[in-house]
Structure 1
Amino acid sequence: MNRSGSLYIEKESLFHKLDGSVKLLMLILWTIFIFMFMDIRIFILMSLIGFAFISIAKLPLKNIAPLLVFIIIFTFMNSLLLFIITPQYGSSLTGRYTVLLNLFGYKLTYETLFYAITLSVKYLSILPITIIFIFTTHPSKFASSLNRIGVSYKVAYAVNIALRYIPDVKDEVRNIVNAQQARGVAFKRGDASVYRILKNYIVILIPLIISSLNRVEVISNAMELRGFGISKKRTWYNREPLHKNDLIFIVLSIVLVILGIFLKQNFSIGFWYP
């Protein structure tokens, strides 16, 4: 992880050399394509392509693992809520009713289980391109790219600062946790119950918020002293023109959405159930 670039991982790869606005466009159009369908076959194919992109980007697994774990937990919780709230929703979509679990009048069907799996794979298929966007885009270059496509430089710079200070907030959390552990507060498994550990983590949010607000005030004062925001436009030191690969990925992203529209209109692809 590059300290000057937040979650950005400095590597020499095809995706690292792409313009930030191009990667943002890829993420948006990729997401639009995914949300056009409810077909696990398409999601599996897009997931394979996406993880192949991650391999090309040469991103270390240890750096992207936390985000992977978070998304997997999110999809699991989403599926669990689906089972609890609408255990027969999949059956209403397919017109079939095959009971998988019948417990005290609660009936979960195979169709709902398959629907939940499809929904989970759908979310996971967006993950690879999101990882590429987050970990291969330097905040400064991304800010200039946003400004290139018409976003105000004030907004672009705010995004830049937010991305840059993620590591600082993470370090602040670590420092607060270490200070509390030195005072005997439990934060590790085995030192206290899960409920107590979660409660302790919630308590440290207060000093973290105060510290973050102090940092915001320091930054805003420094920017104000330098006259930030006086001019309507600004130049960018590290802005580069679009290259051949940028144009290729723009075209491929647009073609992907056009393909999705064609498939949707001509084949009426809805929720696929084998």
Structure 2
Amino acid sequence: MSKAGSLYVEGNSFFHRLDGAVKLILLLVWTGVTFLFLDLRVFAVMLAAGVGMLLLARIPVRRMALLFWVLMVFTLINSIFILIITPRFGSSLTGSNTPLIPVGYDTINGETLFYVLTLSAKYLTLLPITMLFIFTTHPSRFAASLNKLGIPYKMAYAVSIAFRYIPDLTQEFKNILNAMQMRGLGISRGDGNLWRRMKNLSLVVVPLLQSSLQHIESVSNAMDLRGFGTGAKRTWYMGTRMSRSDKLVLLLCVLLLGGAILMKGLWVEKFWYPFL
């Protein structure tokens, strides 16, 4: 857990110094551009740019490993389901059919394999910029930036608390799981079949929920005692002014979104398939 009590990683890189609201806009624009296309060429360029920005932020690899593997597992499962359920879906996008892998009831064709590759690249394109936002954005600075954009400070502060509570929730889950394992709850490979282990793991949900509700009540009482919400406005200890770098990134976001819309409308087809 970081010193901020969140996923934030201390640093002094260009992205650490950016305004939190600017990084949110960058994330939203990047996501919007990604979902405009279904073109592997576009995703390759965006993925390379995203990885480059992530490297410039100098975030430790071990901090990013969990999110990376979660997305990889999700992408793999999603790809398998597409190939099994709709083995010839790619043909509806390209109008061609190249049978490759027989699966008994049907045959997976090359078009669907390429579609799955393109879709996986689409998800991976979002990963670097999401990590950049999560690990370089201090919750308090981000809340102040949101309030500066016109979002009510109560809502901005709620976002800040949510960011801070993620590591606490993770640690609480580990503590409850360890306590239940000491009482004989089996979730390891040698403790029964997969269904039994999953059932045992689900028993952690109730105490975790109770602990979370108690934590929420404590935070709510503490905020009430300090008079939170009584004023129409509030000041921010970690509030910052928008710098030239922030304005430059905002301009680049506008150019990126405008260029993507223009490109989508004039040149890029719905689904790029190079073997037609």
TM-score, normalised to structure 1, is: 0.96
Structure 1 CA distance, aligned partners of 2:247 and 2:38? 30
Map Cα deviations across residues 124-181 of structure 1 (whole Å, 9 max, x no partner).
0011000000000010011111111111111111111111111111111111111112
**Superposition pairs of residues 133-144 of structure 1, within 5 angstroms:** 133-144=133-144
Per the alignment, residue 94 of structure 1 pairs with: 94
Per the alignment, residue 154 of structure 2 pairs with: 154
- Structure 1 unaligned regions, length at least 5: none
What is the CA RMSD across the aligned residues, in angstroms?
1.3
Per the alignment, residue 200 of structure 1 pairs with: 200
Per the alignment, residue 130 of structure 1 pairs with: 130
- Larger mean CA deviation between 238-247 and 180-189 belongs to 180-189
Per the alignment, residue 250 of structure 1 pairs with: 250
**Superposition pairs of residues 147-186 of structure 1, within 5 angstroms:** 147-186=147-186
Structure 1 CA distance, aligned partners of 2:5 and 2:58? 17
Structure 1 CA distance, aligned partners of 2:97 and 2:218? 61
Q: CA deviation at 1:268?
A: 3.6
Per the alignment, residue 230 of structure 2 pairs with: 230
Per the alignment, residue 16 of structure 1 pairs with: 16
Per the alignment, residue 44 of structure 2 pairs with: 44
Contact 1:177 1:187 in 2 (8 A): no
Q: CA deviation at 1:253?
A: 1.1
Q: CA deviation at 1:220?
A: 0.9
- Larger mean CA deviation between 140-149 and 185-194 belongs to 185-194
Structure 2 CA distance, aligned partners of 1:249 and 1:203? 46
Q: CA deviation at 1:113?
A: 0.9
Contact 1:3 1:167 in 2 (8 A): no
Q: CA deviation at 1:198?
A: 1.9
Structure 2 CA distance, aligned partners of 1:3 and 1:43? 35
Per the alignment, residue 64 of structure 1 pairs with: 64
Rate the CA distance shift 1:5–1:247 in 2: closer, same or farther, 3 A. Answer: farther
- Larger mean CA deviation between 4-13 and 48-57 belongs to 4-13
Matched, 1:55 2:79: no
Structure 2 CA distance, aligned partners of 1:44 and 1:228? 47
Matched, 1:215 2:215: yes
Structure 2 CA distance, aligned partners of 1:81 and 1:145? 41
Structure 2 CA distance, aligned partners of 1:188 and 1:54? 35
Contact 1:31 1:126 in 2 (8 A): yes
Contact 1:5 1:139 in 2 (8 A): no
Contact 1:96 1:111 in 2 (8 A): yes
Structure 2 CA distance, aligned partners of 1:53 and 1:151? 28
Q: CA deviation at 1:86?
A: 1.8
Structure 2 CA distance, aligned partners of 1:170 and 1:112? 38
Structure 2 CA distance, aligned partners of 1:201 and 1:268? 47
SS of 1:100's partner is strand
Letter in 2 for 1:188: S
- Larger mean CA deviation between 213-222 and 177-186 belongs to 177-186
Percent identity, aligned pairs only, is 47
Structure 1 CA distance, aligned partners of 2:64 and 2:105? 42
Letter in 2 for 1:28: L
The alignment covers a number of residue pairs equal to: 274
Structure 2 CA distance, aligned partners of 1:201 and 1:129? 32
Q: CA deviation at 1:191?
A: 4.0
Structure 2 CA distance, aligned partners of 1:74 and 1:148? 36
Structure 1 CA distance, aligned partners of 2:84 and 2:23? 37
Structure 1 CA distance, aligned partners of 2:264 and 2:97? 26
Matched, 1:80 2:80: yes
Letter in 1 for 2:222: A
- Larger mean CA deviation between 101-110 and 127-136 belongs to 101-110
Structure 1 CA distance, aligned partners of 2:7 and 2:99? 45
Q: CA deviation at 1:107?
A: 2.0
TM-score, normalised to structure 2, is: 0.96
- Structure 2 unaligned regions, length at least 5: none
Structure 2 CA distance, aligned partners of 1:5 and 1:98? 53
Letter in 2 for 1:166: I
Per the alignment, residue 114 of structure 2 pairs with: 114
Structure 1 CA distance, aligned partners of 2:122 and 2:103? 29
